[in-house]
Amino acid sequence: MILPIYLYGQEVLRKADAEADLTKKDEILQLVSDMKETLKVADGCGLAAPQVGVPLRILIVDGTEMTETYPELKDFRRTMINPVVLEESAEKCTYQEGCLSVPGIYADVVRPSKIKVEYYDENFEKQVEVFDRFACRMVQHELAHLDGKLFVDELPPIRKKLISKKLQNIAAGKTRTRYRSK
């Protein structure tokens, strides 16, 4: 089922999310399936559960459509249930980010260039994986959602001021998306 994507200003995007109950496998798998369908229709590369109104620590990333720009993303798809960052590099990198919950706004964001994450996959098996380059960026962006943070929170004050009117319009429902939104 295609779910509505919650936009900037919705309270669910600002809460730290609860861990998913791993005994509720059918519910988790249904949510993941719905998130994948929603992500595909919205033409994004990542989606966190709070973006579809569910305050649980679940995210998906799919970089397979970006292989022309980032060849290392060939076959890069992950479902992460209850992810935890174990390590992050001191080295930083900058990439331009956008977000389905903050439509029409893009900005350079500085984040660690490498992270190590522990999570459960779709088979409910524990994984520990190191991410770098753009895969790392995708995962970090979605992880931030699970802590109630958006990429615009990472911007310098002057940049935030420049986009404040756009953010106000999104929060007031004065923006259009090509995907179902709330």
Which among 79, 77, 75, 61 has a CA at the least distance from the CA of 119? 79
Choosing from 27, 37, 91, 142, the catalytic residue is 142
Assess whether 142 carries a catalytic annotation.
yes
Tokens of 36: 């994948």
Residues belonging to the active site:
142
